[in-house]
Amino acid sequence: MTAPVAPFGRALCAMITPFTASGALDQDAARKHAVSLVADGCDGLVLSGTTGESPTTTDAEKLALLRAVRAAVGDDVPIVAGVGSSDTRQTVALAQQAEQAGADGLLVVTPYYSRPPQAAVEAHFCRVADATGLPLMLYDIPGRTGTRVEPETLLRLAEHPRIVAVKDCAYDLLGSTKVIGATSLAYYSGCEELNLPLYAVGAAGYVSTVANVVPRQLRAVLDAFDAGDTAEAARLNRLTVPLAELMMASGLPGTVTAKALLDAGPVREPLQPAGREAADGLRRAYEELLAATS
């Protein structure tokens, strides 16, 4: 099977944004975490996405984070900067600033809350794509934005030369498979439970919150699949499920659960840190996964 084109690599981490105890952006911690992720097998990094607490970081903080991580990992590691917002003008401005700050690509989420119709969604993405020379990864996460990027809309958007990828959190394997087959869009799973199923039908890889904690274990699933050992890929994938479920489907946001397992400072309100019981459960699942894959 020919490997799909992966413009930003296969194994991408949706990186947390570390804060100091007082709640300020912690650039030193961000640099160290980014370097560690790359050393442990991440091909690229996605900054200022949902996991990066983009709704509660300022534009200035987003750019400072981007510059800090770029300096830490060098020019060879793809960095995709989250620039999405509910305001097209603000998204365009932040996209242009991210290009100047050294991003390799842009993550652009569907405009949220206003729930625009599909023609407006399409126009929004095209406006951002026309504003810079960088490739775009569209972020389809209707559970948070309230609006799906319908497959028919994606088929049209795929014709734009700078719209090259999709971070897929739509939970529609049939629709995603159809778009993968009909376009050259690089699909990245944004839901850990679909990393392997989407990869098996032609996705390029994943953008993972759980990779903040176990990057090597998630990458091993793709490596086994690429080596032709689908049984081993399935076995390794099953080992990650308990931790991924606790981190992403326990009722707590992935940012909260990731920071509970990392020394990365607090989350910003309105988010609250994980309680002791949840943190202890996460720690047990994490240690069990490490023991099973060591």
**Which helix (H) or strand (E) is 235 found in, with range?**
helix 230-248
| Whether the Cβ atoms of residue 170 and residue 141 lie closer than 8 Å to each other | yes
The answer to whether residue 167 is catalytic is yes
pLDDT means per 10 residues, the chain with 294 residues, are: 80 98 97 98 98 97 98 98 97 98 98 96 98 98 96 98 98 97 98 97 98 98 98 98 96 97 95 96 98 94
Range of the domain at 143: 11-228
**In the prediction, which pLDDT does 1 show?**
47
With beta carbons less than 8 A apart as the criterion, state whether 202 and 187 touch.
yes
* In a domain? residue 290: no
Residue 226 structure tokens: 């690429």
Residue 22 lies in a domain: yes
Domain annotation covers residue 283: no
Pair of tokens at residue 41: 């097998």
Q: Are the C-beta atoms of 91 and 83 separated by less than 8 Å?
A: yes
Supply the pLDDT for residue 2: 53
CB atoms within 10 A of CB 60: 10
**Is 92 within a domain?**
yes
Q: Which of 70, 74, 88 is nearest to 15 (CA)?
A: 70
- Catalytic site residue from 62, 139, 187, 206: 139
With respect to residue 247, please indicate whether it lies within any of the assigned structural domains.
Answer: no
Which one from 167, 188, 206, 259 is the annotated catalytic residue?
167
In a domain, 171, yes or no: yes
Structure token digits, residue 126? 């095209």
Q: Examine residue 201 and state whether it is found in any structural domain, yes or no.
A: yes
How would you write 9-59 as a 3-class SS string?
A: ECEEEECCCCECCCCCECHHHHHHHHHHHHHCCCCEEEECCCCCCHHHCCH
Looking up residue 102, the CATH number of its domain turns out to be 3.20.20.70
CA distances from 147 to 141, 152, 173, 183 (A): 8, 14, 17, 22
Reported as a single tens digit per residue, the pLDDT across 88-103 is 999 999 999 999 999 9
pTM over 0.85: yes
Q: How many domains does the chain have?
A: 1
For this structure, is 171 an active site residue?
no
Q: Which residue has the tokens 């989407």?
A: 198
Is residue 282 assigned to a domain? Answer: no
